[in-house]
Every structure is written in C-alpha cells, then in structure tokens.
Structure 1
Amino acid sequence: MNQLQLSQAQSPRESNFDYDEQPQTQSIQLIENRAALSIITNIQILVAIFQILLILFNSYIAFDLSYKISLLYVTILHFLQIIRIGVNNNKRIQNNQQCCISVFWGVLSISYYGCLIYFLENDDFPIQYPILMYLIFTLTWFVLTLNNYLKNKNDKNFILILQVLFRFFFVLQLMMINLKQIQWIDWDWIYVFTILWMFLSIICIFQLIFLFDFICKAASFLQERDPINREAFNQQIIGSLWINLLILCVSGLPTFSMVCYTIKLQTGKNSYNTLSITLSVIYSLVFIVFTLYYRISLSQFVSQIQQSRVVENNVENNADNQQRYQLNSPSSKHRNHLIKSKEQILTHLPQYLIRLSQTYFMPANDKDKDNASQQKQPQKFQFEQQHFKRNKTDQDQPKFSNRNSLTEINSDKDTQCFNCYQNESCAVYMPCGHGGLCVKCATEWFNEKQECLICRKPVESVIQISQSEQNKVQVIDVLAF
C-alpha cells in the first residue's frame, strides 16, 4: 500500500504508523531459547544462594559458627537486591512506587538485622519495637499491592501480591521468634515456628504432586514405542525431574534442617545437623551438574511452558475482546449490547448514513433528530449550533498543507478512494464514522492497526455502504470487526 504509506508520511502522528518487520521464525526461536537459558541461569544462582544460607545456618547449629556470619550474608543479599531494584527502575522495568517501597523495605530489613545483632549481644535491647515497625510497613505494602491488583488484574500484579505476602509471613515469623526470646509468649519452639511449618507443608504437598506427575510421565515413556513420541516424553521427563529437584531445594532440605534446629532448642542436643550440611552440599552439586548437562533440553522445556502460557493468554484476551465489541454511532449517547457476530452487528448499526463530507458520515436518524430539534429553536441559536458543528467537524479532520490533503477532497462526485485512487470509496470506520476508503484499503489498514486512518481513534468495525440518495448512503455489510 504505497499510497497508504504516503498518507502516513503526511500525518502529524506518523510515529504511530511505523511498520515493524516481523522477525523470521529462526530469530524468534533464538530469542526464546536465550530467554529460557536466562531463566535457567537465574534459577541456578538462586538455588546456590539459598543452599549457602542453609549451610551457614546448619553450621551455626552443628559447629557453633558465629550467627553474625549468617546475618552478614543475608544483609549483603538485601544490599544487592536494593542495587538490582535501582538498576531495574533505571531501565523502567518497575514503576516508581513499587521501586521506592522495595528499596525502603530492603533498608528496613538491613536495619532490623543490625538491631537483632545488638539484641543478641545485649539482652536489654527492646527488639519488639523494630520488628513491630518492620511488620507494620510490610502489612501496609501488602494492602497497597492488593489495592493495585484489584484495580488492574494481571499476572504481574498477582505475582507481586504473592511476593509481598511471602515477605509479610516471613516478618511475622521473625516477630514470633523475637517475642519468644523476650519471653512475651510462653510457647514451645515447635509452636513458635508454626508459620514456617505451614509454608513447608504446602511446599511438600507440591513436591508430592510433581513427583506423582513425574512417575506418570515415566510410565508413559516406558509404554511408548514410537521413537518420536519417546523423544518428546524424554524431554518432558527431564523437565519434570528438574522441577522436582528445584522444589526439593525449598521443601525437603529446609524441613530437615528446621526439625534438627527445633530438637536442639527443645533438648539442647545436636541431632543430624552434620548430615544436613552434607545433604545440602550433595544436592547443590547434583542440581548444578544436572542443569548444565541437560541445559538444551531444559531450555526447550521452559520455552514450551512459556509458549503455552502465551497461547492461553491470547485465548483469554480474544475471548475478552469478543465480549467487549460494542458499536456506537458517532452521535449516539448510549452503548449497545455486546455483539458477537456479523448479524448482530448489522442489527445494531443504523440502516442509513448521512454523508456530511467525502470522509465523514453520521447516522441518518440522529441527523433527522437534529433537524427536527433545530426547527423548534430560535434562528440565532440555530446559527450558533451550526457554526459549532462545522468547527467541530473541521477539528476532527487532520490538517495538511499538501494540495492533495484529505480536507480538500470535498466533492460529492468524487467517489474514488483517497488512498489508492483506483477503487470506489465504499467503506466506513465505526464508531468514528470516517470513510473515503475502498474495501481493500480499509480492511488492510484495520488488520494492521485497528484504528481510524483519519482521527486515530480505535475502530471496532468496518462497514460497507452503497449510495441510496443524494448525501445518503445505505449500510449493506460488515467487512471486518
């Protein structure tokens, strides 16, 4: 559409009409594989960080390693998280509100760890006040995040809610531990860790579910005889086993360590903490080696998961868009009911349109109502209203300095498409009412941008018209919607 591109160059908003070239299939696959490898690498880093923390914790229990090392390690992690948040905000990945709250929460966490070290060195320090402020701020953050999610429900806000909720329960667990240390609550340690036990129980349930899924896939693989299907099942088995190893990082090993720590707090005896350290080291090595060995298969597995999520989101969006099709005439005051088919669209469209100019139409019924109302109005008011409508119509049309601009195509006899100058102009965009295009140009532009070529407003449907009377056309078909 060369003429269409020429009209774009004349448009005052030509930046909205730049065509983006579609990447080739191989380029898309390469980008998806790189994204999958990036996700796998990030997961490896997170697993390594968590296992180091678990080893330091077990070393504190088994070998009386200074607790300051573990707290210093966690403090460094929070400091690195603050730096990462600042970098992401600089790249405009997060909004400013969430960035500021996340940074302040990280600073508050570091401050709390400093107070905790001082409390462990001096028992008379009132640790309840820092942890209470820590908890109130986290709860406020959760309320704000929940409010944002209710206003804009999407996957990103939902994941953010889960993250903030996890932090809230983490701080609540810390508060229960501190209250036990200052003897504000007289519970056994096994009850003090109630929130942690609940979290570990949920993770263990997920572990059993994914383990059952892995067993089912392994059984299907053994029964399958087709080599192609066996290869597909093999990739699914590798991915399922990798997920089970990943969940084991936050389910089995922490549960075993917390059981050993609870026994020590209750009885004062060390039990199997050395074994817990050994298991953490072995697990870390197995997970890293397994991930590196099956890196290609895992990247394909992650890519398939991402593609399935994209397909599901597209299906949901298409369903939502079909339910939102509401056609309004340019001067109507009330929205019509939801429209899902061409026949229903035709029933909700006006039967006739009035041609106000070569590129602008409005429903004949509304035009008749305006004429009837003007007959009852004083002559001075009619003149002001007509002058206002004429100015408003002129404002809707884009202003061009070119001789062949749209505003100069006002001849009723000229029925050619102002874009290609070859076919008859018989298409109108709804609900804005702008036309002057042929069927081919109008539908091609609608498929590209789904907005009006003249006023840049969203287009809900493209209708076909036929000349009925002078300055009056009939709606005969719906070309696209």
Structure 2
Amino acid sequence: MSQHRSQQIAQFQQDLAFTPLESITKLSKLLFLLVFTNVYLLIYLTYLVFSYDLKQLIIFYFSFDAMMMLFLIILKIKFSFAVGNSIFDIFFSTIFKTILFIHFRFRELEIQCLGYAVFAYYLLRLFALLFQKVFRKVFIQRYYIYIQGIKALLALQLMLILFKWKGVLEWNWFVIFSVAWSLLVIFFIFHLILILSIIEIMHDYLLRRASKSQIIGSVWLILYFCSFSGIPMWFCYIICQNQEIINYPTSQTSLTLSIIVILQTFIIFIFSTIFRQHVKNYIQDIGFEEQIQTSNPKDTKQQQSKANNSLKITLPKKLIQVSSTYFEFFKQPSQQNQQIQNVTTNNFSVINQKVRLNAFEFVARMDQIHSPEKESKLMQNEEKCQVCFLQEPHIVMLPCRHGGICNDCLKQWLQKSPNCYLCRQKIHQLCKIQKDESGNFTIKEIAVFKI
C-alpha cells in the first residue's frame, strides 16, 4: 500500500512538471491596483508641485488611461485575465476627461449634468448586482458588490466637486469632500485594527500558534493599506487646504507626499519580491474565494465536463472527514449522515464563520518512531504537502477523504483531472481546514463541484 502510494505521488509530481503555472496571481492583481492608484495620485501631485496648466493635467491623465487600457487588453487576450468592467470604466473615464477638456479649453458646458449621469450609471450597476444576488439567486462574490458600492460613492463625490465648480453649492471644500472623508475614516479604522492585530499575531507566533507567513503577510498588508488610508487622506487634506487657504505651502507638502508615495510603492514591491511565497500564502489564507478553474476560454467545454466549476455552500455544524492515510475515523451519531445529506447544490452561500470539528484528530505513526530525531523529522514531513513538500497541507477531498495537499498543488492537479490524486475517485467537495490550538482541525471553507 505504501509503495503504491509512493508511485502515485511520484507520477503526480511528474505530471505537475508539465503543467503551466498561472502567470497572473492574486498578488499580481493587488500590486497592479497599487500602481494604478499611486500613479493617479502622483499625476495630480505633480500638478500641485509645478503648477502647470489644467489642460496639461487632463492630457497626462489621457495618456495614462490609454496605457492602462492597452495593458488590460493585452492581459485579456494573451493571459485570459479577468478584467471585468475595468476596460469599460477606463473608457468611461476617458469620455469624462474629454468633456472636461472641452469645458476648460473651448467653451463652458453644463458639467453638473455630467455628474448626474456618472452617479446614476454606477448606482444602477450596484442595484443590478444586488437584484441578481437577492432575487435571482445568482452567485456573486461580496467583493464585487463592495467594489461597486465604493465606485458609486466615488461617483457621488465627483458629482459634489462638479457642483462646487459650477457654483451650485456654496460649501467649503472640506464639506464637499465629505464622502471621501467618510470612506477614508472607515479605511483608517480598518488599517488601525490591522496594526493592533499584528501584536496578537506575534504573540501567537511565539507560542507556535501562528505561522511565519501570517506575520510577514500581516506586515505586508499594513504597508499595502497605506495607499488606501493614510496617503489618500493626506492627499485630500492638501487639496482642501490649497483651495481654502491662499498662502498654503502646497508645493512643499505635495512634493513630500510624492516622495512618500514613491518610497511606499518601492518598499511594497521589494517586500513582495523577497517574501513572495509567504505573502502568497497569506493572501490565499485570507481569501479562499477564488474559483479553482482554468482560465483558457478554449477549454470551457472541457472544464464543464471535468467539473472544474466550484461554488461555495453553507456548512453543517459538524462534518466527519476521514482518510486512511492522514486522519483517524471517529464514529458519530446518526445525525451526521442527515447533516451531510443537507449539503446540496441548491444551498449556495459564502461561509462567514469557522466551524470546529472535534472529530478531527491527527494520528501520529507511533510504530515508526524510534528516536526524538526521527520523531522530529516525521512531524515535519507530516505537516508539509505530500506533493511539493514546501507548504502546509490544508485541503481535504470528499467523498474519498484524502488530504495532505496544499492549495497550489491542488489547483494545478484540477487543471488536469477532477479526480483525487491518490485514489482517482471523482471529487465532489473540497474542504479547507486549519489546525487549531488544541490540535483539532477546523473547517474554514468548503467548495462543491458541479458534475
């Protein structure tokens, strides 16, 4: 049995050597968002530093939007990158800047009507997403709804700025930016919670309750979130002070903020390069919502036949997970069978809480332990993925109940086959588990595959 399993794992590792890795990862997407946000800030900060003409500022934004649109189109065509509505948003932004350019260069327009149109468009998109999720029961990740809500609020902020330009509102600029201040305060509170939580994570790490990836990932997220809390808050403050105070040192403060933005961007990229694997593990741990599926549109029909389309469902309170290789079986009352039957594909939802499983007990192979040195090596091997032997295994497949594989290796395997990599039985559910302080296992999320 052991020899047969070793042959299966060796064959699996050989298959993975010919499997192409995803070129666009979640980390790449986050870094792309960081660059996009910081460049937009830097363009306006250079306008405040050098005080050039407003029409030149619009031309700079035109050029940047054109580069971003071209870049997204290349990612969409060459890498099948899911750009969503980003291309259309940039195109819509280009039309908006064109109208502003005509307004400032040739003749004045009723640009407050443009504010109405932009706000109405993003508000309708938000309502459309909510309607599909609530009434039509379409599976939409909450992440997209949050992003669309933020876009609608930013459109409202833009409408208030246009009203101020046209003299419709007589408020001061600090009140005009009230929507931006509200969002930034929420982000700042969240950022502060992240900073305070790292103290607890470091304490857990000293007690061996947290991994090294959690500490490094938390530090990375704190540095990353500066671009969405402290830096834009200072940016809005400079804009308001520049409009309200005549002799405010706008150039000096804008130059200081520009240097901070550039340094923060370089630090994030250097940090992400040095600790790339730890950061990727942390991102996967806090966001397991990514669907495990191939991204090539030519293989769509094959994906449907191979059942690589996953959906989140609500968990029962307890779910027994057994593997002859990795987990020990503990018999449970008959209620468990009834609970497992209730896990159907008609009950789709995103899991919001952890579920403890007292039935998960990791079995140490005491018959193979003859010395403390062998015991240490055995425990280290058991805690690593049985395919790559690098990351911690936290995936268990149902109904065969085999585990010992990390998320990265599983995604690569599912691109080749929808069956278990050990017993070749078809996978119906995937459980993401985590070992708690007492040594028991906790189910964090579960995915059900359409057959």
TM range (shorter): 0.5 to 0.7
Match of 1:210 among 194, 200, 203: 194
TM-score where L is the length of structure 2:
0.56
How far apart in 1 are the matches of 2:101 and 2:133?
37
8 Å Cα contact 2:23-2:79 kept in structure 1: no
Distance 1:65 1:308, change over 3 A: same
Any unmatched runs of 5+ in structure 2? Answer: 1-8, 293-309, 320-334, 342-424, 429-451
8 Å Cα contact 2:164-2:176 kept in structure 1: yes
How far apart in 2 are the matches of 1:130 and 1:344?
54
8 Å Cα contact 2:316-2:339 kept in structure 1: no
- CA deviation digits over 1:323-365, x for unaligned, max 9? xxxxxxxxxxxxxxxx9747999xxxxxxxxxxxxxxxxxxxx
CA RMSD of the aligned region, Å? 4.3
**Pairing 1:22-421 to 2, within 5 Å after superposition:** 24=12, 38-76=25-63, 78-79=65-66, 84=72, 88=76, 105-121=89-105, 124-150=108-134, 151-156=136-141, 158-221=142-205, 223-224=206-207, 229=208, 233-268=211-246, 269-271=248-250, 272-306=253-287, 316-317=313-314, 319=316, 341=337
One-letter amino acid matched to 1:289 = I
- The secondary structure found in structure 2 opposite 1:185 is coil
8 Å Cα contact 1:36-1:303 kept in structure 2: no
CA positional deviation for 1:263:
0.8
How far apart in 1 are the matches of 2:176 and 2:14?
55
Distance 1:124 1:236, change over 3 A: same
- CA deviation digits over 1:37-86, x for unaligned, max 9? 72223322322222222122112122213444543454455556656379
8 Å Cα contact 2:24-2:81 kept in structure 1: no
- CA deviation digits over 1:95-153, x for unaligned, max 9? xxx96x76655433221111112223357321122222222222222221211121235
Residue of structure 1 equivalent to 2:443: none
Give the structure with the higher percent helix: 1
Distance 1:194 1:122, change over 3 A: farther
How far apart in 1 are the matches of 2:427 and 2:232?
52
- The secondary structure found in structure 2 opposite 1:187 is coil
8 Å Cα contact 1:146-1:161 kept in structure 2: yes
- CA deviation digits over 1:362-399, x for unaligned, max 9? xxxxxxxxxxxxxxxxxxxxxxxxxxxxxxxxxxxxxx
Distance 1:65 1:46, change over 3 A: farther
8 Å Cα contact 1:36-1:299 kept in structure 2: no
How far apart in 2 are the matches of 1:40 and 1:307?
13
8 Å Cα contact 1:127-1:178 kept in structure 2: yes
- CA deviation digits over 1:219-251, x for unaligned, max 9? 444x44xxxx39x54322111000001111111
Distance 1:290 1:176, change over 3 A: same
How far apart in 1 are the matches of 2:221 and 2:240?
28
8 Å Cα contact 1:109-1:134 kept in structure 2: no
CA positional deviation for 1:277:
1.4
One-letter amino acid matched to 2:147 = Q
**Pairing 1:448-459 to 2, within 5 Å after superposition:** 448=426
8 Å Cα contact 1:85-1:102 kept in structure 2: no
Distance 1:291 1:448, change over 3 A: closer
How far apart in 2 are the matches of 1:343 and 1:187?
59
Any unmatched runs of 5+ in structure 1? Answer: 1-20, 323-338, 346-446, 451-481
TM-score where L is the length of structure 1:
0.53
Identity of aligned residues (%): 16
How far apart in 1 are the matches of 2:261 and 2:30?
16
8 Å Cα contact 2:102-2:108 kept in structure 1: no
One-letter amino acid matched to 1:301 = Y
Distance 1:213 1:343, change over 3 A: closer
How far apart in 2 are the matches of 1:343 and 1:237?
36
Distance 1:152 1:23, change over 3 A: farther
How far apart in 2 are the matches of 1:30 and 1:206?
42
CA positional deviation for 1:304:
3.7
8 Å Cα contact 2:62-2:97 kept in structure 1: yes
